[in-house]
Amino acid sequence: MSNTTDTLLCVLAVIGFTCLMVGLIFPMLKRKGVDVDELLDKTNAALEVASKAFDTVKPFLPDGAGIDAFDRILEAAQVGVGNAEQLYKVGKLRGDERKQAAKNYVYDTLKLMEVEVTPEVERLVDGAIENNVLDLGHKPVMVLS
């Protein structure tokens, strides 16, 4: 799933939970004699403290560029493997050249995005390519004798 879909699902979950609290749980608590207004005031105060704490820590957190680069690597690996496989099937690549062609595609994509290729990125690229090759679902080769 994409980041947008994940964000949308999280927002919908929060809205659903909020509706549940307001529509069902708060009236039930009020009937049982719980001071819901005081509970809401305490919750609001706790959220303000948490918000201030998060604002203090926020400058030290990563900006999400790593996650974005990871998603781009996965997407580029999928396209690169598909491209290399197609070139192999039409005879423009030998079988042993496919992985390097897929790697080149991913590294070219990362270069365009100005992502530094570190050993960690190289391992990610290798893993993403291997995973996409596995997803191709090659059938075993029959040997004719």
Q: What is the distance, to the nearest Å, from the Cα of residue 102 to the centroid of all Cα atoms in its chain?
A: 21
Please indicate, yes or no, if residue 69 is contained in any of the structural domains: yes
Higher pLDDT, 131 or 9: 131
Pick the last residue of a domain from 60, 89, 107.
60
Same domain, 74 and 124: yes
Look up the domain containing 95 and give its range. Answer: 65-136
Q: What is the mean pLDDT of residues 13-20?
A: 66
Question: Using one digit for the tens of pLDDT, what is the confidence trace for 36-95?
Answer: 777 767 766 666 666 666 566 555 555 555 556 777 888 889 899 988 988 888 889 888
pLDDT in tens, 100-129: 999 999 999 988 888 888 888 888 888 888
Q: Domain boundary at 37, 60, 83, which?
A: 60
- pTM: predicted TM-score of the whole model, two decimal places: 0.51
Domain count, the chain: 2
Q: How many CA atoms lie within 13 A of 34 on its CB side?
A: 10
- In this predicted structure, the answer to whether residue 141 has a pLDDT above a threshold of 50 is no
What is the C-alpha separation between 118 and 92, in angstroms, rounded?
30
Q: Are residues 56 and 71 in the same domain?
A: no
Cα–Cα–Cα angle for 122, 125, 128, nearest 5°?
Answer: 150
Name the domain boundary from 11, 40, 60: 60
Q: Which residue has the higher pLDDT, 18 or 65?
A: 18
Instruction: Identify whether the C-beta of residue 80 lies closer than 8 Å to the C-beta of residue 98.
Output: no
Same domain, 73 and 51: no
First-last CA distance in the chain: 46
Does one domain contain both 40 and 80? Answer: no
Distances, alpha carbon 98 to alpha carbons 70, 80, 103, 119, in Å: 22, 9, 9, 21
Position 145 in a domain: no
* 76 and 129 fall within a common domain: yes
- Please indicate, yes or no, if residue 142 is contained in any of the structural domains: no
Same domain? 42 vs 72: no
Q: Which of 84, 77, 85 is CA-nearest to residue 128?
A: 77
